[in-house]
Structure 1
Amino acid sequence: MTERRPSEWQLAELRSAVEELPDPELPMVTLGDLGVVHAVRIGSDGTPEVELTPTFLGCPAMEVIERAVRGVLAEAGHPAGRVHRVLVPAWSTDRISERGRRRLAEHGIAPPGRPAGAEVRAVTVALGPPCPHCGSQATRPLSPFGATRCQAILLCTACRETFAQFRAG
């Protein structure tokens, strides 16, 4: 059976399916939430191609993510679909969606600062990002390395809880 070139509608469906895959290290967020899906397009030979931008250079989850994306392509009838890593432009925390930021916070991971172009407000002097447990900004770095390479560990001096934060990237 030969593969047929996907229509624009089918390409949008492929992108949606890829973006809804959970991140293997942070399953509360999807690849779409994290903004790692750079592009979904039709290659010059008519084969679907998915371009992914890793959150961290050398991210150990990329092989698992690529395998899951190939599974989505195969389920959609495109077993020869290709997956590529794109390093330029580099991923940054600005790509995390509002839903992704909310889900990270709900699971005790401090989302990074507001994306570029966000509403400008008065600057408040604080020691660190707000604690996802109590909201205090009396936080400080505890370790530059967290459960994954793209996270750091912080300590809230108000409630004495530790929490993870996405490292700015």
Structure 2
Amino acid sequence: MVTADAPAATALERELLRLAGAVPDPELPVVSLAELGVLRGLRVLGPGRVTVELTPTWTACPAIDTMAADVTEVLKAHGMAEVEVRTVLAPAWSTDAISPEGHRKLAAAGVAPPRRLPPGAARTDRSAAAGGPVAGGPVAGGPVAGGPVAGGPVAVDLAIRCPRCGSTDTRLLSRFSSTACKALRRCESCREPFDHFKEV
């Protein structure tokens, strides 16, 4: 499997990887699969045959089939008769995989990008997208329903900046928004609601 910066990648593999990476995320079309960090690699197996690896943002992501179909369509339009898209779950995707350009585009679209947490800081539990605990609980600084799990991660309540006015005086309204990977928040300064891409 090759990535865009792999020295062993052929010119064809680099071009196909660029095309697959430019496919917009179906749930957040302001960012591409490459910017979101879910495109893991690509390998040309022979004339007209290619394998692509995608890692979903969470195991049960409902958009993975659409991502695979969109990547397949793009690559077939560029001469690949056989496109195999494999879902790879390890290593698990994390919000650290989102590129700086992806962060910029999310903020420009009114979605607070995930914070870059310092090494060792507690992250949102990977089950958060499926209803598990979220750092900060149901309201900023509030408890997580059911309380902390013994020996589990300690909630970190870092400020989340409003993508509209820049204020850090924001409040969690719901752990889930239009997609499971986002939470709904409201800015207490400009009073506007906004999505926050949750850290994992």
Could you tell me the TM-score, scaled by structure 2's length?
0.72
Paired residue type of 2:178: A
Measured in 2, the distance between the counterparts of 1:30 and 1:111 equals 14
Q: Does 1:158 align with 2:161?
A: no
Query: What is the alpha-carbon root mean square deviation over aligned residues?
Result: 2.1
The residue matched to 1:81 in structure 2 has which SS? strand
- How far off its partner does 1:60 sit? 1.3
Give the aligned partner of residue 101 of structure 2. Answer: 99
1:78 matched to 2:80: yes
- The 2-side partners of 1:66 and 1:81 are apart by 9
Amino acid in structure 1 at the alignment position of 2:169: A
- Equivalent in the alignment of 2:58: 56
CA pair 99-115 structure 1, distance change in 2 beyond 3 A = farther
In the other structure, the counterpart of 2:39 is 37
Could you say which residue in structure 2 is the equivalent of 1:167? 198
**Aligned-pair identity (%):** 44
Structure 2 residue runs without a partner (length 5+): 1-8, 120-156
1:142 matches 2:163: no
Name the CA shift for 1:127/1:71 in 2 (closer, same or farther; >3 Å): closer
Deviation at 1:44?
A: 8.6
Change (3 A) 1:76 1:116: farther
Give the letter for the 2:12 counterpart: Q
1:52-83 Cα deviation digits (max 9, x unpaired): 01112211111111001111221222221210
- AA aligned to 1:100 is G
* In 1: Cα distance, 2:106 partner to 2:94 partner: 16
1:127–1:140 CA contact under 8 A, matched in 2: no
- Verify: 1:131 aligned to 2:162, yes or no: yes
TM-score by length of 1: 0.84
Work out the CA distance in 1 between the residues paired with 2:186 and 2:162.
8
Q: Retained in 1: the 8 A contact 2:174–2:185?
A: yes
Provide the rounded CA distance (Å) in 1 between the counterparts of 2:118 and 2:38. 17
- Amino acid of the structure 2 residue aligned with 1:142: L
Aligned to 2:16: 14
- Following TM superposition, by how much is the alpha carbon of 1:33 offset from its aligned partner in structure 2, in angstroms? 0.9
Partner of 1:120: none
Q: Is the 8 A contact 2:26 2:63 kept in 1?
A: yes
**DSSP 3-state at the match of 2:82:** coil
CA contact (8 A) 2:48 2:82 kept: no
Distance 2:96 2:163 in 1: 19
Whole-Å Cα distance in 2 between the matches of residues 49 and 163 of structure 1? Answer: 37
CA positional deviation for 1:106 = 0.7
Aligned residues, how many? 155
Aligned AA (1:35): G
> What are structure 1's unaligned runs of at least 5 residues?
1-6, 118-125
**Larger RCO (alpha carbons 8 Å, 6+ apart):** 1
Q: Which residue of 1 aligns with 2:140?
A: none
Extract structure 1 runs of 4+ deviating beyond 6 A: none
Q: Which piece of structure 1 moves more, 13-22 or 42-51?
A: 42-51
